Amino acid sequence: MKMNSTGNKNSCIGIARRLAAARAAACVVLVLALTTLPAAGEQQSGAGIGQATEAVQRQRSVISVELAKAKEEARLKRQKELAKAQEELSPAGLLIATPPGPEGGELFTVQAKEVAFRDVVVCLARKGRFDLVIDSTVGDGFLEEPMNIDLRLLALEDIIDVLTGMVGLSYRTGPEADGSLRVLIFKDDPAGRDDALHSRRRSAIDVYTRLLLKYPDDDLSIAAYFNVAEIRFDEGEYALASQDYKVLLDRDDGWKFAGPSLLKLGRCYSKLGDYPAASRALYAFLDRGPDADKAAEALLALARAADKAGSPNEAIRVYRRLLIEYPSARGSEQALHELADLLFKEEDYTSALRQYELLRKSRPKYKPRTIRHQVARARMQLEQWSPAASELTKLLSVSKRDAIASQSYYDLAFCLDKSGGRLEALEAYTGAAERFPADPAATKARVRVVQLYRELGLLEKATAYAKGALKMAPPGTPPERALKYQLAITLLQMEQNDMAMVLFEEVAQAPGEAPRADAFIRAAEAARKLAKLGRAEALYRGALAADPNSTERHRALLGLGDTYAALGDYEKAALAYQGKDPSEKKQ
């Protein structure tokens, strides 16, 4: 989209001048008409005035039509220019147009981690007096650093360069013939960037290797070894990097690269799963008395290595040592977060909750949404349903559509369900499934909605909801089987036995994990209500062959006894009532 303020201004001035000229001409005509009227008759004078008035009205009508025509032409031209700009550039991205060199300018501030990139650019467009169109493919990034933008001192292109770089986007600009600027902001191809970076790193290793072969004893060779090791570490080649760090340590035990090499060597071993070697290297690094930030980094790597090695107690001890000895070091908040997560994984939910709460209190700006959600999850594990629901409600007060928001919606519904608020839970489950239908928890939520409708006696609503949910479930999948099972139970309660029996049989005979024995028993109950006793006998036998638990076996034999009694075979009925399978007697 583009905008030419000078052209629009001149166009408006021209129209205004034409309107003023027309009014002046009308006045002149009116004066002449009045001065030339005969003085003999009032009726004749009135006719002259009427003619002059009609002339003025006709002139005004012409001007009004021309003004409307000019506005429509300007609107169509604007649409055409926008379409052309979007066609020439990429359709995916952000299109900005601004007049060249706007006069004046205003200063505004963007707060860190509080304003979305889109909102910043919209604000920039408003303050800079240019038009803005945002395509849906540009995501919802947030600025990570505070900054001031002064439109009086910086060119628009410089501002766009800074903003796009802060959120990992790219941009292109193109001047128009009238001097206006066209800017496109778009998502770059991360794969292409990674390939280019990988290529540059391989080239750097080749150069360093040639230098080391040519000048193996030069003082700069130590730095070359270190740089090669660092590149390989960044590339994820931890085995090769560890070899380079060891070679360096053999040559540089007292040089400045020894400490960083020990730290990275320990991290390499940790990545490779060799915890004892990682521990030796990292403790050796700590023995050199590094500064607080480096010591915290080493302890963090040591704790992670212990956790990966299957030694959670050792990892917890190292995390706590880091927090005690270096509470203000860079990465201490990450250590506290990982400690809380590890305690949660080890099912020490009380300690995990305490650490999450401490992190939230001491570092309020550190991942506030993530920590609030984990506080809620810890409270859920401790069955503190109301406090957990309160945390989740606060988290969802800010509208988001990310994974945390999705999980929080389902967690909130679960908390309300567990605390006995069935109506509130029903609404929450329904809302979560509608808002985040692709979440893995959506199927369980839909199944629970059917159950809640049934528990509330709303059988018709349960049936309608289950049928609608089945249309979204892929055929032959566990979600489809679970919904069919719930629908069949509802239909059985509604005495729609034919359809219930068919659905129960489909669930019972479906491959994979399913409530097979129970489905066979319920299908048999529907068959008995339909007086299909032979079918009921076969279904009860299907339940007995479907590896039932003790309760299911008792139900199947009891139903089988009732079926035999209805058929008049009282001997078999007696055996079934005694908990014996009549078919086993014949064998």
Evaluate if residue 472 carries a pLDDT over 50.
Answer: yes
Question: 439 pLDDT exceeds 70?
Answer: yes
- 257 compared with 352, residue with greater pLDDT: 352
Burial status of residue 210 (CB atoms within 10 A of its CB: 0-12, 13-18, 19 or more): exposed
What is the model's pLDDT at position 252? Answer: 65
Do residues 202 and 234 lie in contact, with contact meaning Cβ atoms separated by under 8 Å? no
Indicate if the pLDDT at residue 101 is higher than 70.
no
pLDDT for the residue numbered 221? 72
Give the contacts of 321 (CB within 8 A, at least 6 positions apart): 299
Cβ pair 412, 392 in contact under 8 A: yes
Q: What pLDDT, on the 0 to 100 scale, is given for residue 372? A: 94
For helices 258-272 and 275-287, what crossing angle results, to 10°? 160
Cα–Cα dist 283/329, whole Å: 18
Please, which residues have CB within 8 angstroms of residue 146's CB and are 6 or more apart in sequence?
109, 110, 111, 112
The Cα–Cα gap between 249 and 259 comes to 9
477 or 342: which leads in pLDDT:
342
Q: What is the DSSP letter of 402?
A: S
Element (H, E) at 170: strand 170-175
C-beta separation of 156 from 181 below 8 A: yes
Q: Check whether 12 has a pLDDT greater than 90.
A: no
* Gyration radius of the chain's alpha carbons: 39
Question: Cα–Cα distance between 409 and 545 in angstroms, integer?
Answer: 41
Band of the pLDDT at 4, cuts 50, 70, 90? very low
Please provide residue 156's backbone torsions phi and psi, each rounded to the nearest 5 degrees: -55, -40
CA-CA-CA-CA dihedral for 236, 239, 241, 246, to nearest 10: 160
Q: How far apart are CA 405 and CA 14, in angstroms?
A: 55
Q: Which of 172-176, 376-380, 398-402, 475-479 has the lowest mean pLDDT?
A: 172-176
Taking each helix axis from N to C terminus, what angle separates 220-234 and 190-214, rounded to the nearest 10 degrees? 150
Exposure pattern of 91-123 as b/e (b: 16+ CB <10 Å)?
Answer: eebbbbbbbeeeeeeeeeebeeeeeebbebbee
Nearest CA to 49 among 61, 57, 22, 60? Answer: 57
Identify which of 13, 76, 296, 398 has the alpha carbon closest to the alpha carbon of residue 5. Answer: 13
Region of 495 on the Ramachandran plot (φ > 0 left; ψ -120 to 50 alpha; else beta):
left
CA-CA distances (angstroms) from residue 162 to 120, 142, 168, 442, 524? 12, 13, 10, 40, 70
Q: Which residues pair with 186 in a beta bridge?
A: 170
In angstroms, the first-to-last Cα distance of the chain is 86
pLDDT exceeds cutoff 80 at 452:
yes
CA distance 62 to 23: 12
- Partners of 108 in beta bridges: 149
Other beta carbons within 10 angstroms of residue 276's beta carbon come to 10
Higher pLDDT, 217 or 329: 329
Relative orientation angle of helices 533-544 and 550-567, to the nearest 10 degrees: 160
**Is residue 234's pLDDT more than 60?**
yes
Question: Which tokens is 519 given?
Answer: 């489905």
- Distance separating alpha carbons of residues 430 and 456, to the nearest angstrom: 15
CA distances from residue 449 to 427, 456, 474, 491 in whole angstroms, order as listed: 9, 11, 19, 15
d(CA 198, CA 202): 6
DSSP per-residue codes, 496-510: -HHHHHHHHHHHHHS
**pLDDT at position 34 over 50:** no
- Which of 189 and 583 is assigned the larger pLDDT? 583
Q: What is the pLDDT of residues 67-100, one digit of tens each?
A: 778 777 776 776 565 455 444 433 344 444 444 4
Rounded distance between C-alpha atoms, residue 183 and residue 170, angstroms: 11
pLDDT at residue 287 tops 60? yes
pLDDT for res 413: 92
Rounded-to-integer distance, Cα 135 and Cα 138, Å: 6
What's the pLDDT score for residue 310? 86
In DSSP terms, 97 is beta-bridged to 131, 182
Q: Is residue 453 predicted with pLDDT exceeding 90? A: yes
Residue type, 399: S
Q: Are strands 181-186 and 94-98 parallel, antiparallel or unpaired?
A: antiparallel
Q: What is the pLDDT of residue 123?
A: 67
Least confident of 8-22, 137-151, 318-332, 342-356: 8-22
Q: Are 434 and 453 in contact (CB under 8 A)?
A: no
